[in-house]
Amino acid sequence: MVGSARLHRSLTRQMSILVTGGAGFIGANFVLDWLAGHDEPVINLDKLTYAGNLENLASLQGNAKHIFVRGDIGDAVLVDKLLTEHCPRAIINFAAESHVDRSIHGPGEFIQTNIVGTFHLLESVRAYWGTLEGQAKRRFRFLHVSTDEVYGSLTNDAPAFSETNRYEPNSPYSASKAASDHLVRAYYHTYGLPVLTTNCSNNYGPFQFPEKLIPLCILNALAGKPLPIYGDGLQVRDWLYVNDHCRAIGLVLEGGLVGETYNIGGKSEKTNLDVVRTLCDSLDELAPPATCHLPRTTYRSLITFVKDRPGHDRRYAINATKLERELGWRPQETFETGLRKTVAWYLENQSWVANVTSGAYRHWIDKHYSS
């Protein structure tokens, strides 16, 4: 009887996943989507730096299937303990420093988290995977979430990034993510660790920390502040609604080929200027300036060009044909429908916005986006 109970607990522990960085923007959206569609518990490890916010997961309070642990992926003792206790069948690694501007002004944290942290996590996972046997070992996966910025910059007429593009990172952030991608690849080829890597385009949607372009401009517009656009605003990005990204990650986790990389893009190439103009048009409709007591007829009049940032890549574009062909994924949102949902979410969640925009955050914005 005791043996049967121990076996039952062991099997139960194996049917879980460990998510790192699961209180951040993309990670939190993934956790919420996962638990909405699966009975499988999530162990959520997050360091809770400035962009990690437990309020993103407030709807999961009291949910026994969500086990939150505050900690660093580089803390081998903690990670080893979680792996031993919960025996996850998969790990999805979102944990990363991710803002290019911050990497320019303080690259050390990016090196520590994105490279050193990923190395320590891989070492812990490799040791854990080595203890698994049979079906548990065969089905285990380590999914590493990365970015299209590792590929560098494209000219306007160049084909979109495919999985075979060589890496040419141009910022401390993208260089640190490229290094982490290489480590993940090396652990597959050297040790046989069953890894998967995804490289996504620019994400947007609910819970994004307002240092990124879209939430920053939403908040500034509502406050009647300038909408800062670097340089001429003609840098091109491929925009991906976060829930489409999360759905793609789930498909790669379940059906991706071990050792492979999958690009995830929204099929929505836009210049930064067009993004902000479209955002202003949505705000004009959903929250007209007059209702915010602003002496103007359109938010477009707030657009302000500021000095370009160093090493600013001109264009990113993702070719997601491999993901579409092999796993049947397509983005469900166009840029226009996804942006409208995003604007509506920020308008409807002013308490979240107020809590996240602390005095330290305002100091950061003043420092890095002043004209």
- Contact present, 163 and 263 (Cβ < 8 Å): yes
Amino acid making up residue 78? L
Parallel/antiparallel/unpaired status of strands 236-241 and 269-271: antiparallel
Amino acid making up residue 66? H
CA distance 112 to 105: 15
* Angle (CA) 131 192 40, round 5°: 55
- Contact present, 204 and 241 (Cβ < 8 Å): yes
* Residue matched to tokens 């994004």: 208
pLDDT at 293: 77
What torsion do the CA atoms of 26, 32, 37, 42 make, to the nearest 10 degrees?
90
Print pLDDT tens along the chain (371 aa): 334 334 344 444 548 999 999 999 999 999 999 999 999 999 999 999 877 889 999 999 999 999 999 999 999 999 999 999 999 999 999 999 877 878 888 899 999 999 999 999 999 999 999 999 999 999 999 999 999 999 999 999 999 999 999 999 999 999 999 999 999 999 999 999 999 999 999 999 999 998 899 999 999 999 999 999 999 999 999 999 999 999 999 999 999 999 999 999 999 999 999 999 999 999 999 999 988 778 778 999 999 999 998 888 899 999 999 999 999 999 999 999 999 999 999 999 998 988 887 655 455 556 655 54
CA distance 264 to 267: 9
pLDDT at 10: 45
CA distance 216 to 279: 11
* Residue matched to tokens 């996240």: 356
For domain 7-207+241-267+312-333, the question of CATH label 3.40.190.10 is answered with no
pLDDT at 2: 38
Parallel/antiparallel/unpaired status of strands 42-46 and 17-20: parallel
pLDDT at 135: 96
Structure tokens at 315: 């264009």
Q: Which residues are catalytic?
A: 148-149, 173
Secondary element (H or E) of residue 80? helix 76-86
- Which of these, 177, 44, 192, 196, lies nearest to 114 by C-alpha position? 177
- Please give the C-alpha separations between residue 332 and each of 21, 114, 228, 272, in angstroms, as whole numbers: 25, 30, 29, 22
- Contact present, 271 and 349 (Cβ < 8 Å): no
